Amino acid sequence: MTSALLCHLVGCDGSGKSTILNALQSTYDAIYIKEPASQHYIDLISSTNDVFKQIDYFSADRFNLYKDIKFPLSKTIVSDRSFICSLVYQSLEIEAKHLWPPFSAIKQVYDQQLSIIPPNLVIYIHAEPSVIHRRLSTRGEDHYLTLDQINAIQTRYQLIFQLFNLNVLPIDTSMTPIDINVSKILSYIQWRVIILPYPLILSVKDAEPSQLTQSISNH
């Protein structure tokens, strides 16, 4: 039986993820991490439009973030974004640009990455596309995502959840008050801690960042 969980907090921009995260941080004692974590890799990711280089940089950053985390956990970790978000956005870009290798090959890369630690729980923050678009418009960011793109992103999240058989807690922020959603999350985390055992975790200490994406070049 475990006393802590690894939780991934994910969702489309404008879904309310940051608001939920801030509320969790003020009420729930956990270790909070963020992907990408290293400013070095953030700068590298921002410096290129090459999606495959970005995959490599995200992977190396993820390896460095998780390599010193010891399992089973003694304290719950909540990660702001994760490999799931990378897969959603990168796969949509690959398909939109008709790039090679296709998404199926990229998924295999993520399957093989020892730096990807399977979460006990994915907290999926979502909302009606029109609500998300209105929030982005209020922030002056409505040019960033169209309604069609928001729909595509949220549909792709659902696909990724199924492909990786992830345990997902959906949180709809369209109309539900923040305190109710946070209470729902905390109640579910408590239930997971009490009821469910921790999954088998492979060590990432022996992996090297260069190994994580080398199979891309083989496709």
What is the reported pTM? Answer: 0.84
- Asked if residue 16 belongs to a domain, the reply is no
CA dist., res. 144 & res. 141, Å (int): 5
| Residue closest to 72 by CA, chosen among 193, 164, 208, 207 | 193
For residue 52, tell me if it sits in a domain: yes
CATH of the domain at 110: 3.40.50.300
**Contacts of residue 187, Cβ cutoff 8 Å, sequence gap at least 6:** none
Domain that holds residue 66: 1-10+31-125+150-171+189-219
Q: pLDDT tens string for the chain (219 positions)?
A: 456 899 999 999 999 999 999 999 999 999 999 999 999 999 999 999 998 899 889 988 988 888 878 877 889 999 999 989 988 998 898 888 887 767 777 677 666 654 457 788 999 999 999 999 999 999 888 677 999 999 999 999 999 898 888 899 999 999 999 999 999 999 999 887 765 544 433 333 333 333 333 433 343
Split into its structural domains, the chain has a count of 1
Sheet with 6-11, side-by-side order of all strands: 31-34, 77-80, 6-11, 121-126, 168-172
For residue 147, what are the CA distances in angstroms to 115, 160, 195? 33, 20, 39
